Chains A and B, each alone.
Chain A
């Protein structure tokens, strides 16, 4: 099959564009899960981030929107953390409830502010900023180095997370909590405070992911616009084996699976588009089945720390 360079470039930059919010949300979730907390509220935090980004951008420009999205995600994750860590309630159900809360909050606020017709907003967006020199490198140049700022943010967060988890005392303590909160506590670690901090930071990441979706991809807000991306981020953490570099790879793979439809469209193949809607989810299931066998999750994942 022949593919011209334009299609390849389009495919690669679409992959990176789609992967950016997934990468941000997954890195945040990874921090929480390394501390033993599985937060199914990521989807909700992304949704809140998306609405906050739209409201912020409409009133104060794209950067205000981006900042607001992080704060909104952090706020929602705080609610989750108070229930799941503060009161040691079941993490899965607390997370599901938090996401439900976000669906209700964002939907109602959106309709109250913009009317129930939900007219398309025109928001200031984050435009691609080419990095001088790197953007001209063939193949990977335009896809990785001619992107909106949020993509660079996500890419820089990968080594930062790695450094934090594996090269700092706090990171070591967090991982210890994720393996055995009891032992960590016996060693003098403030287990639940660390979990709280990691979860809330993860929420801010998820909020930024929602903001990216609005400000750098879609350009507007719609009810339930995250459409399960938060849950995909959770799967990406598992696929990426709870490691920042693995998470980067898994997120890019996901972006590629989604971006495939652009290639097929460009080649004029008549494949039902719903097949592409399914592809990322089915792919994740297959990969989980193939990969999880040899990988260990943080031992205390999902269990409330005493």
Chain B
């Protein structure tokens, strides 16, 4: 059954609208001026080309990558809630290697930094993947727990082996120029945006046009049916999807270090790993949808910072809008699938 083409766009936008509406009400209750706050938010996210490129798009990059990873997992029926931890694993590895490669030519150094970040992200999620295969441990719990381990690891690194040479601040030294990704002239937007867009294209191609994409879909729809009828190795496919998912989140950590912060910091991610889940949900498993939805959430994050700066409203409140958006998407999905069930029953 083919759904009308308008609906896929309408529903996510309506959900986001619901999120922002609840946020506005919440602001009024707290005694902030919602018009002032949301105005500052929009200006911060879309006010100028510089704001859009350096604020919104820069934040959209890690969201896009992690959300793609989450979606790969979702398609195979595994929930990787550990994007935050894999992001940090990638960031630690990128900083570690990047600091050693000053003498390399730029292109080679940057490539090496990103490659190591990818591997680190995959390794970080390899533990939950293995625990799932070998012992049947729920990946939801194991990936989640490893987030906290990763945060502690970063905290140790920036106060231990990777601490800056003065040994004063909890952060690493600045990466040598060779290990940094180039930025677009006049902005802070780095080449990672092209990487993230390419990954989305590849994901679209794999999901749509390849056997693996078909298998993923079959497994995600119903593991038992896929095993019985197609002879698919469901467990292996799930583990592979987890690895890819972690690799993408690791890459996000790498691009953040090599393109934005140029150093390892304890609070490098403002919760990208969790926001990315919202991004993926809003996009409803479509890679191209993820591009749009990552930009929208990038705008929310960038706007939240501007809101705190210009209107004195707590930036953390933006999570309320994100959460309401997720819940609205879930409710709409649940209600529409029930209607479909009733039609087919």
Contact = CB atoms under 8 A, between A and B. Distances in A.
Interface of A: 38, 40, 79, 83, 87-90, 92-94, 96-98, 100-101, 103-105, 107-109, 111-112, 116, 223, 227-228, 231-232, 234-235, 238, 272, 274-275, 277-278, 281-282, 284-285, 288-290, 292-293
Contacts of B93: none
Given A87-B330, A89-B333, A100 B322 contact: yes
Contact of B319 (A104, A274, A284): A104
B42 interface: no
B319 A101 contact: yes
25 contacts: A79-B327, A83-B327, A88-B338, A93-B281, A96-B81, A96-B277, A98-B327, A100-B278, A103-B319, A104-B320, A107-B316, A107-B317, A108-B26, A108-B317, A111-B314, A235-B145, A274-B152, A274-B159, A281-B145, A281-B148, A288-B137, A288-B142, A289-B131, A289-B134, A290-B135
Contact of A292 (B137, B155, B320): B137
3 closest A-B pairs by beta carbon, nearest first, are A104-B319, A107-B316, A101-B323
Contact of B326 (A100, A107, A231, A238): A100
Given A83-B331, A112-B30, 7 more contacts: A87-B335, A92-B79, A93-B326, A96-B274, A101-B327, A238-B141, A285-B131
Interface string B312-345: 1110111111111011001101110010000000
B144 interface: yes
A274 B15 CA distance: 40
Mostly, the A contact residues are helix
B169 interface: no
Q: What bracket does the count of chain B residues touching chain A fall in?
A: 35 or more
Interface of B: 26, 30-32, 79, 81, 127, 131, 134-138, 140-142, 144-149, 151-153, 155-156, 159-160, 271, 274, 277-278, 281, 312-314, 316-324, 326-327, 330-331, 333-335, 338
Contacts of B318: 104
Given A89-B330, A93-B277, A97-B323, A112 B314 contact: yes
Nearest to A228: B148
Contact of A104 (B140, B144, B317, B327): B317
Contact of A274 (B26, B140, B155): B155
A144 to B, nearest CB: 28
Nearest to B155: A274
Contacts of A288: 131, 135, 137, 141-142
Nearest to B79: A92
A281 B147 CA distance: 9
Contact of B30 (A87, A108, A232): A108
A169 to B, nearest CB: 30
B30 A97 contact: no
B314 A272 contact: no
Contact of B149 (A79, A87, A96, A281): A281
Contact of B135 (A93, A100, A289): A289
A100 B146 CA distance: 18
A249 B329 CA distance: 39
Nearest to B135: A289
Contacts of A98: 323, 327
Contact of A101 (B153, B313, B324, B330): B324
Given A89-B333, A285-B131, A97 B142 contact: no
Contact of A235 (B127, B141, B320, B323): B141
A89 B331 contact: yes
| Central interface residue in B146, B152, B312, by most chain A CB within 10 Å | B152
Contacts of A272: 156, 159-160
A281 B152 CA distance: 10
B223 to A, nearest CB: 13
A234 B141 CA distance: 8
